Structure 1
């Protein structure tokens, strides 16, 4: 349900109140930039995505029904805008062997910064799918629809991304060794 403060802010934005629009932008821009950057992996493009997305937010605000969180609604616009900007990615990958989840456990010294860096090093097509599903929380069928691919493709790309990440972490010595 939409909070009273957000209702007031939305009403003011709908009346083209620039201070309200700035307040809405200030409230959500940092998180939305982070989302755009994880998807595009390009600082300048992320700024362009953010600007385009917020233009769409203000143009479409009258269609926001308040069924879900305002931040979630804005994030959907940011994600779709980012995806339109990176459409040149080839979202298909031929996998010749079966990918098996080995259930590796990792050292507790693993930092979020290192993990984020390794995610950014993933090939574009699987990084985007990994981010949308594992970080942003979208379902496979939602990502498949957004990208115009099959659910099987999103599953194989996610699995491939996880395999690459595990390999990189093991190579860096972050696999927890079994004792005994």
Structure 2
């Protein structure tokens, strides 16, 4: 996304209810926010539904934005929360056996984004949600656990579980 096009003049127009400025914001951000939705819900149609719901809330509440320079982060937070809420009934946290957890080793192998995407999509829903929120979206364990309705220790164990599974699945995909 070209954030240079998201200047203070555009933000001012958006906050003043200018529909063309809102459409311009939509055009500038839809790819980024769709990607966020898709990574969490893991389904194209559902990601589109979540994205639509997110934009409805964004434009309904944009007048409440206190710091215009935080617009993108605010939009992303709304989108992530909508995606999690949409997926909440589908997110299941696998019980983790201690044997499934390996000591963290350096993973020193080359692989492309397609292999990583395949491996992430194959994670159990709970591990995938935690991994995406922490490792991709940059949320803290406290924030992720609050959004997902789990404890911080569950967030931490699910992240380690996700990393362990990713190593195994990437290695398997590379050998295929």
TM bracket, shorter-chain basis: 0.7 to 0.9
> In the alignment, does 2:115 pair up with 1:106?
no
Distance, in Å, in 1 between the alignment partners of 2:156 and 2:92 is: 12
Distance, in Å, in 2 between the alignment partners of 1:117 and 1:80 is: 23
For the 8 Å contact 1:49–1:78, the answer to whether it is kept is yes
Greater displacement, 9-18 / 159-168: 9-18
Q: 1:15 to 1:68 in 2, by over 3 A?
A: closer
Distance, in Å, in 1 between the alignment partners of 2:123 and 2:12 is: 42
Q: 1:149 to 1:56 in 2, by over 3 A?
A: same
The structure with the larger Rg is: 1
Q: How many residues align?
A: 171
Aligned to 1:161: 162
Shift of 1:38: 0.1
Q: Give me the TM-score of the superposition, normalised by structure 1.
A: 0.86
Aligned to 1:132: 133
Aligned to 1:149: 150
Shift of 1:67: 6.9
Q: Give me the TM-score of the superposition, normalised by structure 2.
A: 0.88
Distance, in Å, in 2 between the alignment partners of 1:76 and 1:147 is: 13
> In the alignment, does 2:122 pair up with 1:115?
no
Distance, in Å, in 2 between the alignment partners of 1:61 and 1:94 is: 40
Q: Which runs of 5+ in 1 are unaligned?
A: 175-180
Where do 1:22-41 residues align within 5 Å?
22-41=23-42
> In the alignment, does 2:67 pair up with 1:66?
yes
Q: CA RMSD in A?
A: 2.0
Cα shift readout 1:61-85 (whole Å, capped 9, x = no counterpart):
1121227532111100000010111
Shift of 1:11: 2.8
**Higher relative helix content:** 2
For the 8 Å contact 1:91–1:149, the answer to whether it is kept is no
> In the alignment, does 2:85 pair up with 1:84?
yes
Q: Which runs of 5+ in 2 are unaligned?
A: none
